[in-house]
Amino acid sequence: MAKYKFKKESKEPSDEFIRSKMDFNKILKNQQVISNYKQATKPLYKNRFFMGFMILLGVICLVIIFEERDPQEATVKPNKDSIVVDTLKK
């Protein structure tokens, strides 16, 4: 129980020490840094540019996936061993 000692009389801080801690411009700058940090670290889904990019990327992917190919490109190439019958010739 004797490990802790409490001082009943404390020293008053000096006027110079109090004036050194009364820098309100520094407090305002710290507050602005904190608010800018919150703005810079907002979630990506709230960022307009990121969401616009993701929507554009999604649309491009959908166009590539569901793109209709010309029927000429989709022709089947015959194997070497198969017989080709051309019914369009007269």
Whether 82 contacts 76, CB under 8 Å: no
Higher-scoring residue by pLDDT: 30, 72:
30
What are the boundaries of each domain within the chain? 23-65
63: how many CB neighbours lie within 10 A of its CB? 9
pLDDT for residue 76: 64
| Tens-place pLDDT, residues 17-44 | 888 888 888 888 888 877 776 666 778 8
In this model, does residue 75 exceed pLDDT 80?
Answer: no
Mean predicted lDDT score pLDDT of the chain: 79
pLDDT for residue 54: 94
Secondary structure string (H, E, C) spanning 51-76: HHHHHHHHHHHHHHHCCCCCCCCCCC
pLDDT for residue 90: 59
